[in-house]
Amino acid sequence: MSGYKRIGRELMHKGAIVELYKDKMQLDDGSVHDWDFLHHPGAAAVVPVDKDGNIIMVRQYRNALGRYTIELPAGGKNPDEDFETCALRELEEETGYKAGHHELLCDIFTTVALMDERIPIYLATDLIPTHQHLDEDEFLNVEKHSLDELVNMIFEGKLQDSKTICGILSYKAKKNL
């Protein structure tokens, strides 16, 4: 199972965020096949917990699903920043809060079968109110939910975003240790 080898890569499309490649892969048995590969520069997410124990979430429209979703605050990493800086920037931009304390909860790759998108997820506490700095094409509502409410929403199928599910359940596990 160690004979997989990329023997070629061709850029098929460069979008605003992702790049689509056709990889030519040699498999263990020597056969050669074309595989799709999406490169994503990475993102970061935050589980912001206020002084009352509520989690600050954002509701926004997602074109891929054609509907609104409730998600953790998150966003793409700029080329010149690390994941931690990205997470703290996105927290303030999307929710209007800064973190007095933060720590890494977990680190995920969202779709390992065909994409390299990495999203570290941070816990943010001791929140300090500031104000939102939304991007010009970003329209979202800030909501507060209890941990129990969000866990129930996961198991009812109402929260389906992978980073949100991982972040909420990681926070629940950490809290229950």
Kindly state whether residues 126 and 146 are assigned to the same domain.
yes
Kindly state whether residues 169 and 113 are assigned to the same domain.
yes
Whether the Cβ atoms of residue 90 and residue 51 lie closer than 8 Å to each other: no
Q: Is 136 a catalytic residue?
A: yes
Among the options 84, 90, 136, 138, which is catalytic? Answer: 136
Kindly state whether residues 103 and 55 are assigned to the same domain.
yes
**Phi then psi dihedrals of residue 162, to 5 deg:** -65, -45
Kindly state whether residues 90 and 144 are assigned to the same domain.
yes
Residue among 124, 116, 149 at smallest CA distance from 46: 124
Burial class (CB in 10 A: 0-12, 13-18, 19+), 49: buried
Kindly state whether residues 95 and 80 are assigned to the same domain.
yes
State which residues of the chain have pLDDT below 50. none
Interatomic CA distance for residues 64 and 6, integer angstroms = 29
Kindly state whether residues 91 and 29 are assigned to the same domain.
no
Kindly state whether residues 31 and 66 are assigned to the same domain.
no
Q: Which pLDDT score, from 0 to 100, does residue 134 have?
A: 81
Kindly state whether residues 66 and 101 are assigned to the same domain.
yes
CATH number at residue 105: 3.90.79.10
Kindly state whether residues 78 and 160 are assigned to the same domain.
yes
Q: Which pLDDT score, from 0 to 100, does residue 2 have?
A: 67
Kindly state whether residues 18 and 91 are assigned to the same domain.
no
Residue among 37, 34, 31 at smallest CA distance from 11: 37
Interatomic CA distance for residues 48 and 2, integer angstroms = 41
Kindly state whether residues 97 and 145 are assigned to the same domain.
yes
- Residue span of the structural domain in which 69 resides: 43-175
Kindly state whether residues 106 and 126 are assigned to the same domain.
yes
Domain count, the chain: 2
Which amino acid makes up residue 106? C
> How many residues would you count in the chain?
177
Q: Which pLDDT score, from 0 to 100, does residue 1 have?
A: 52
